């Protein structure tokens, strides 16, 4: 069967089974022919086998036959053999070593087409060993008088220096000579491509190549200004491939070099002005021109021109060009010192936010956050809130968080920020993260009494409309319930500031004024939410806290009703709700003076991390969702941390699983670099943490109690509000950090201690408070989990959060984050520790790190000797295609990790 017949038979197959039957039959026939060693039919069988391979069927049994065709003297056989080798073999197969001798013979052949076949094959599948063996032949061919051979030799040299960078110095001089061939565009193109790769691999070559900038500028100017050349014309543009490659090389040569940049400013302006942007060919050149202008030390007028070109791209009907423009604007926004030129296109960017294409919308929203400042915050926030209603559920959490952060940073006044966050909660409250709610609560607690009343009234009116879509937003319910519980007394008063009752421009000109609700109206609202279809256990917990807070603010008849609502949960299947209900009912037995202090209003919350975060984070870091300080994120979920200045999230894992062994193929790569440090390898024994059983009733009151799985957020922990109280007698009575054992016999003390309603509760139900005194959890006993910057360079930020799994095991929760416009991949992190310690590195969560997708990795260190921890790190990664290798030491660990 000839190749034509095989193709026809495959096309006539009606089902996949018929096709497999035809292929299996023909493969068996080809195997038989190969065994017969028939030289006349070998090329026919190999050609059919290559077609079978392209259909996706196995064809490995034809590899040796391809080698035999390469050894043939016929050009047709040799061409088919080399084609088969490039398809069926790769650099990792041992069979490839048999081709080396044939390649060497053909590289020295008198027929230029045979030489071209050998260079093409070597340039596609060369291994490291083959590159070393044949490098001298390729180097010699770079000086050949035949232009056909020289251009193929340049491309082959490109593969060789990628495989063996040590051989680069042999090609630098010859590569520079290729730039003299200004009349032959093929040689120019391959020579510039080779020089570009060399500049990326070696800074010394980059510095030496800068002497060619005038020549490259002259070549580029000639391409723009010379007469029409039909040989190189593509849609009216002279050799766009060569122009693009020259611009890429100029971008490398002009980066951080003023002298080279000055030489290319004029020609870049000519390219940007004279290139036709009506077709994709011209747009591709303009795109490379923009990137070159923004990456060199160009003049400000050139940068404005580049931004205007991207602005024209945004108005293009082609979505691909729009996407490229938005992506590029996001990248260059961090480079611009003056964003006024970018602000001119804000109207076009806002139009892109409304685009039907989700990819365009996402990039436009990212750019809108970058453009945001105090002057345009209201306009952009309004558009982002509109887009928030139609965006996907996955994006709502990210946009909500970033919008709230920007509202906090660029707010004109606190009322506007409160209105904006309320609208976010109303639209996407079911998707916001807990830290957004906590930050809003901190904002309210730090506001004036008039604003606190305004906020509570606004949230009350939103929920009181009985809109099912609004009540489905959990975040809105949580914030509203918290404010009602804290500021109900203000809600029941007439407005303290009439100016705050003006029209709310962010609510479609709707006023927030309404009749002052009665006490029973407030309880009716909470009762309706408590029995609503969208209620969750977390909402129930908030409502119970709000109800018990209201007993301190409402009349006695309302207290009876509230106690009745709370009593319903004394037998609830949820242990958290059950225990809270029992404790809150017990509070009713206290005298009014004690209860009023226990249920007093929460003081203003402070974020102790805020100043440090602002010093460390740049404006673009704040605006990028994935680069927000995760240290603030994790700790803001605990409002007690805002009060006491530290986190109160004790570990909930009472019996952690033993650490399993991990393997690392590259773990021994830095043994010779580590000095007296010992690398943690797979021989490290499993680290078995000690068991640490949790108990509610501790024999030692000074011992910390860990949370055994409570889901009640510490936001509800109203009892610890009394920590800042200056009254000495109340401090001794409600000393929740170290309760006195002498007071256990006092019937008031256990009730107050057990009514520490701010503390997460153990899963053990309490049926009798006097019989089983409850020891409250200590907020001060929790160990703060701080995030430390381990590495920050080339767009990659590595942070870690240390914690103790047990007294001898330290856990480093490592996080890799990429700056905006950076893509980090090929990450390889090697860690070494002193000989007295053992190390385990878990695999990373992903292989590519982008601004929207950080990577997490767990590192565990066993330190039985409890000596100071120090580590040596060898890090390699690729940042936007540029390979980076680093090695450094780190020892700034907190002594509390081993003390």
The model's pLDDT over 702-759, given as tens digits with 9 standing for 90+, comes to 333 333 333 333 333 333 333 333 333 333 333 333 333 333 333 333 333 333 333 3
Identify the band that residue 227 occupies on the pLDDT scale cut at 50, 70 and 90: low
Q: Any residues with CB less than 8 A from the CB of 498 and at least 6 apart, and which?
A: none
Do 724 and 736 touch, CB atoms closer than 8 A?
A: no
Mean pLDDT of the chain, nearest integer: 79
pTM strictly above 0.85: no
Do 832 and 679 touch, CB atoms closer than 8 A?
A: yes
Stretch 304-310: mean pLDDT, rounded?
A: 92
Supply 400's token pair.
Answer: 């909500």
The position carrying tokens 């495989």 is 163
Identify the band that residue 214 occupies on the pLDDT scale cut at 50, 70 and 90: very high
Question: Which 3 state secondary structure label does DSSP give 289?
Answer: helix
Stretch 277-288: mean pLDDT, rounded?
A: 91
334 compared with 326, residue with greater pLDDT: 326
Stretch 572-601: mean pLDDT, rounded?
A: 88
Residue 692 has pLDDT above 70, yes or no: no
Identify the band that residue 881 occupies on the pLDDT scale cut at 50, 70 and 90: confident
Q: Please state, in angstroms and as integers, the Cα–Cα distance from residue 112 to each residue in 71, 152, 183, 265, 758, following that order.
A: 17, 11, 21, 41, 84
Tell me what pLDDT residue 766 has: 34
Residues 46 and 69: their CA atoms lie apart, in Å, by: 9
Enclosing H/E stretch for 876: strand 871-879
The position carrying tokens 């990819």 is 359
Identify the band that residue 514 occupies on the pLDDT scale cut at 50, 70 and 90: low
Share of the chain above pLDDT 90, in %: 48
In terms of DSSP H, where are the helices of 255-376?
Answer: 258-274, 280-295, 300-314, 319-332, 340-343, 346-353, 358-371
Tell me what pLDDT residue 343 has: 87
Residue 186 has pLDDT above 80, yes or no: yes
Tell me what pLDDT residue 217 has: 95
Tell me what pLDDT residue 615 has: 47
Residues 573 and 664: their CA atoms lie apart, in Å, by: 47
Tell me what pLDDT residue 83 has: 95
Supply 819's token pair.
Answer: 């700056």
Tell me what pLDDT residue 502 has: 54
How many CB atoms are closer than 10 A to CB 252?
19
Stretch 680-684: mean pLDDT, rounded?
A: 36
Stretch 255-275: mean pLDDT, rounded?
A: 93
């Amino acid at each position: 069967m000839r190749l034509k017949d095989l193709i026809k038979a495959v096309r006539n197959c009606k089902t996949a089974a018929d096709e497999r039957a035809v292929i299996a039959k023909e493969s068996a026939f080809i195997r038989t022919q190969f065994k017969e060693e028939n030289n006349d039919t070998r090329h026919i069988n190999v050609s059919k086998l290559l077609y079978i391979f392209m259909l996706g069927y196995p064809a490995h049994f034809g590899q040796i036959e391809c080698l035999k065709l390469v050894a043939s003297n016929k050009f047709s056989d040799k061409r088919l053999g080399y084609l088969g080798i490039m398809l069926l073999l790769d650099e990792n197969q041992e069979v490839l070593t048999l081709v080396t001798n044939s390649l060497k013979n053909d590289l020295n052949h008198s027929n230029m087409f045979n030489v071209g076949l050998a260079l093409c094959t070597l340039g596609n599948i060369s291994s490291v060993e083959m590159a070393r063996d044949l490098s001298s032949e390729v180097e010699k061919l770079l000086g050949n008088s035949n232009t056909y051979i020289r251009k193929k030799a340049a491309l082959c040299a490109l593969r060789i220096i990628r495989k063996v960078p040590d051989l680069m110095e042999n090609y630098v001089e010859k590569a520079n000579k290729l730039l003299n061939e200004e009349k032959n565009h093929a040689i120019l193109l391959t020579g510039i491509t080779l020089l570009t790769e060399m500049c990326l691999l070696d800074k010394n070559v980059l510095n030496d190549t800068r002497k060619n900038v005038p020549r490259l500028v002259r070549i580029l100017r000639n391409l723009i200004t010379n007469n029409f050349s039909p040989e190189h014309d593509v849609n009216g543009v002279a050799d766009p491939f060569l122009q693009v490659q020259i611009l890429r090389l100029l971008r490398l040569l002009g980066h951080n070099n003023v002298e080279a940049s000055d030489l290319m400013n004029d020609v870049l302006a000519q390219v940007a002005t004279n290139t036709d942007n009506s077709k994709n060919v011209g747009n591709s050149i303009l795109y490379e021109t923009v990137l070159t202008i923004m990456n060199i030390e160009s003049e400000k007028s050139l940068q404005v021109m580049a931004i205007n070109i991207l602005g024209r791209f945004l108005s293009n009907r082609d979505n691909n060009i729009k996407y490229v423009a938005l992506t590029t604007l996001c990248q260059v926004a961090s480079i611009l010192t003056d964003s006024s030129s970018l602000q001119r296109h804000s109207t076009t960017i806002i139009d892109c936010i409304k685009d039907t294409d989700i990819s365009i919308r996402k990039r436009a929203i990212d750019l809108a956050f970058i453009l945001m400042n105090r002057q345009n915050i209201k306009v952009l926030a309004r558009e982002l809130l509109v887009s928030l209603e139609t965006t996907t559920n996955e994006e709502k959490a990210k946009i909500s968080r970033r919008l709230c952060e920007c509202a906090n940073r660029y707010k004109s006044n606190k009322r506007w920020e409160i209105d904006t966050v309320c609208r976010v909660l109303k639209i996407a409250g079911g998707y916001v993260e807990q830290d957004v709610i906590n930050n809003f609560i901190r904002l309210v607690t730090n506001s004036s009494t008039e604003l606190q009343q305004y906020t509570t009234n606004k949230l009350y009116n939103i929920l009181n409309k009985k809109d099912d879509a609004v009540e489905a937003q959990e975040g809105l319910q949580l914030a509203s319930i918290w404010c009602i519980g804290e500021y109900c007394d203000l809600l029941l008063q007439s407005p303290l500031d009439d100016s705050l009752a003006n029209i709310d421009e962010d609510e479609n000109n709707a006023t927030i004024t309404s009749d002052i609700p009665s006490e029973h109206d407030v309880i009716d609202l909470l009762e309706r939410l408590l029995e609503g279809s969208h209620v969750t256990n977390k909402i129930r917990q908030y409502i119970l806290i709000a109800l018990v807070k209201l007993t301190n603010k409402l009349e006695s008849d309302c207290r009876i009703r509230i106690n009745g609502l709370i009593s319903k949960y004394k037998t609830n299947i949820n242990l958290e709700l059950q225990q809270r209900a029992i404790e809150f009912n017990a509070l009713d037995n206290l005298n009014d003076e004690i209860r009023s202090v226990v249920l007093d209003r929460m003081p203003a919350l402070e974020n102790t991390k805020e100043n440090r975060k602002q010093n460390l984070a740049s404006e673009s870091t704040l605006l990028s969702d994935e680069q927000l300080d995760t240290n603030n994120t994790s700790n803001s979920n605990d409002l007690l941390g805002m009060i006491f200045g530290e986190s109160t999230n004790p570990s909930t894992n009472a019996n952690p699983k033993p650490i399993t062994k991990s393997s690392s193929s590259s773990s021994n790569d830095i043994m010779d670099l580590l000095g007296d440090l010992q690398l943690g390898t797979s021989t490290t024994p499993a680290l078995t943490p000690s068991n640490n059983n949790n108990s509610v009733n501790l024999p030692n009151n000074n011992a910390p109690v860990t949370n055994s799985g409570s889901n009640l957020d510490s936001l509800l922990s109203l009892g610890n509000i009394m920590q800042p109280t200056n009254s000495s007698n109340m401090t001794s009575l409600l000393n929740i950090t170290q309760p006195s054992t002498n007071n256990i016999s006092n019937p008031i003390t256990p009730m107050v201690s057990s009514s520490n309603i701010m503390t997460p509760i153990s899963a053990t139900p309490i049926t009798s408070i006097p019989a089983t005194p409850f020891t409250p959890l200590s907020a001060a006993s929790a160990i703060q989990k701080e995030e430390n910057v381990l590495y920050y360079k080339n767009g990659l930020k590595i942070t870690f959060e240390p914690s103790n799994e047990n007294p001898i095991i330290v856990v480093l929760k490592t996080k890799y984050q990429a700056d905006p416009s950076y893509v980090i991949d090929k990450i390889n992190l090697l860690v070494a520790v002193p000989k007295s310690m053992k190390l385990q590195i878990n695999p990373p969560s992903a292989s590519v790190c982008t601004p929207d997708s950080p990577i997490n990795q767990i590192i565990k260190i066993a330190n039985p000797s409890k000596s100071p921890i120090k580590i040596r790190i060898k890090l390699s990664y690729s940042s936007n295609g540029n390979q980076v290798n680093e090695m450094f030491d780190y020892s700034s660990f907190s002594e509390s990790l081993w003390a």
